[in-house]
Structure 1
Amino acid sequence: MNPPGDAHLRTWTLRFMALLAAETRAQLAWLGERELETGAVVEEVELLCRLSEGLAERGVFAPESLRDLRAIGRRVAEIDAAGRAGLWADALATDPAWDAIRTPARRFLLTTPGARRQPLPRPVDPHTGDH
């Protein structure tokens, strides 16, 4: 039996991977006027990749799904301090790392049961923190 939070973590991982898999144009539209820091996105991706290891151990994700999550985690870890500074919208337009992340994120969604049609996560209101 999986802990109750596993379903939430699975959903959040799938939605975040949907955001990473989206075309730059869709990512920028999702961001809208929000000023999301690149470092925060990197930290979230790193956390989700680490948590996914445990989710796979508990049967939430298939072990083969981890290949793509590990590839994403490695690519994100390669983003240096300068690449983590500033707004994600700017990094999406200038840092090829985000294009490289798109392919394994798409493959993860295509090979994970129930993940093919994940909506983008709801943006957080920067003023209230509400979803």
Structure 2
Amino acid sequence: MAHVNSYLSILLLFFTEGLSQLVRTQQFVTATLGEDAQFSCRLMKPKDVLQVTWQKVTPGGTENVATYNNRFGPVVNPPFQRNVEFEDEGLQNCSIVIRGVSRGDESCYKCLFNAYPEGAISGRTCLQINGKI
């Protein structure tokens, strides 16, 4: 049984690594306190994407920041509407900008390309903030 679990863990690792390599994104974005930070994600191979979702990684899990799909267009969720905007809207290439970053914005952000039949294909970028406290 332990061998089966080890095999499944290795298989899952390769599968998720393979999917994450389908997305081109920055590993880190550095911004000065009060300035803007841009995040972009691009699929390296065309997929049948239904929606792109941006999420902020929090200690309790993730929080949806914004979504884009062809039916409803770009939607920024209420807690982020004050300073998050879409720069590029698309199902293969999507980018957002956080205006006037604060310490509270410092975190990792995920872009999820919700594709059929693959499911979520994700990339991750971590925001580092420079500046006085």
Specify the structure having the higher radius of gyration (Cα): 2
TM-score by length of 2: 0.29
Whichever structure has more helix as a proportion of its residues is: 1
Task: Say which structure, 1 or 2, has more relative contact order (CA 8 Å, 6+ apart).
Answer: 1
TM-score by length of 1: 0.29
